[in-house]
Amino acid sequence: MSHPSPAPPRTTRRRSASVDLAIAAACVGALLLAIVVTAWLLDESSLRSHAGARLMPPGPDHLFGTDWLGRDLFTRTIMGLRLSLTVGVVTALLSVAVATVLGIAAALLGGWVDAVISWLIDLSIGIPHLVFMVLVAFSVGGGIKGIVIGISLTHWMSLARLIRADVLHLRHSDFVLASRGFGRSEWFIARRHLFGQVLPQALVGFVLMFPHVVLHEAALTFLGFGFSPQTPAIGILLHEGMPHISSGMWWMALFPGLCLLLVVLAFARLGDRLRVLTSSPGQGG
């Protein structure tokens, strides 16, 4: 008769999750630092076109090769990543803020506020989000504003629903009921009790949202609703590089694509580790 092997003790599991998280955070930190420092050190003159250096394959002078206007692809990729990171942070923050405020408000105030927010969540989730995102981005005029508003307004619902569920559970917890008994207002309870409790959830939401935003920014730009063609954005690089793959100029799409994949995977890994750690038993305290 076989016995199942005993599960590792909780402290060991938490320590292992913490080590994983530290490694993922170090990778993301190193990647961010590399992108920001490299972008700062790069000579922006290499963004200009050079007729004599058109479509050069990767080599010592041009690590990622050059594009059809002779522009250095390494410089453009790094600049594109920096832009993507900036857009990713701003958009993910905005989206998480909307989700947190609406999630807490729906659960705490209940009644018609909850009904309206829940209806809005259901409605927004019901629309195919790429179509919704393109419509919003287009209606606000595209560009960076279109990307930020388009992605923020179409990516708050799942997190808002999670936070609403958390707060619905927490609002009947003994410490919240005790707080009401001490005469504390709903605003105090939301700010001091509930916000702190849902913050780990919001943080995980932010980190997981980030790679999603970067991918959508590239997609919107690729589809022509994002940045203008002269901006060195990853979506633009992919859009320009794709037609050249079939004619042998593989480097134009490969390197920007690989860099995007690396950033997205690093953040997704960090978000996943953070989620494991914050959802493990005995997290309180």
Partner 1 sequence: MSLRATDLAYRVPGGHQLFTGLDLRVEAGQVVGLTGESGCGKSTLARILAGHLPPTTGTVLTDGYPVNAPGPRPVQLVQQHPEKAVNPRWTMRSVVAEAHDPDPALCERLGIRAEWYGRRPAELSGGELQRFCLLRALGPRTRYLIADEMTAMFDTLTQAELFAVVRDIVTERSIGLLVISHDIPLLDRLCDEIVAMPEQASAVSP
Minimum distance from residue 278 beta carbon to partner 1 (Å):
12
Minimum distance from residue 163 beta carbon to partner 1 (Å):
16
Nearer to partner 1, 49 or 173 (CB): 173
Nearer to partner 1, 71 or 193 (CB): 193
Instruction: Choose which of 76, 82, 155, 193 interacts with partner 1 (CB under 8 A).
Output: 193
> Rounded distance, CA 285 to CA 283, Å?
6
Alpha helices in the chain (DSSP H): 10-41, 73-109, 111-126, 129-139, 143-154, 157-170, 174-181, 186-188, 195-223, 234-245, 251-279
Nearer to partner 1, 50 or 184 (CB): 184
Alpha helices in 59-142 (DSSP H): 73-109, 111-126, 129-139
Answer yes or no whether residue 201 interacts with partner 1 by CB under 8 A: no
Instruction: Choose which of 179, 186, 254, 272 interacts with partner 1 (CB under 8 A).
Output: 179
Nearer to partner 1, 54 or 180 (CB): 180
Count of CB atoms situated within 10 Å of the CB of 86 = 14
Answer yes or no whether residue 284 interacts with partner 1 by CB under 8 A: yes
Minimum distance from residue 186 beta carbon to partner 1 (Å):
11
Instruction: Choose which of 183, 187, 230, 246 interacts with partner 1 (CB under 8 A).
Output: 183
How distant, in Å, are the alpha carbons of 46, 67, 108, 187, 271 from that of 165?
51, 50, 10, 18, 20
Which residues ranging from 118 to 177 are in contact with partner 1 (CB under 8 A)?
173-175, 177
Minimum distance from residue 284 beta carbon to partner 1 (Å):
4
> Rounded distance, CA 257 to CA 262, Å?
9
Minimum distance from residue 216 beta carbon to partner 1 (Å):
33
Instruction: Choose which of 13, 50, 184, 244 interacts with partner 1 (CB under 8 A).
Output: 184
* 70 three-state secondary structure: coil
* 248 three-state secondary structure: coil
Q: Please name the residues in contact with 152: beta carbons below 8 A apart, sequence gap of 6 or more.
A: 91, 94, 95, 98
Query: Which residues lie near partner 1 (CB under 8 A)?
Result: 173-175, 177-184, 192-193, 196-197, 284-285
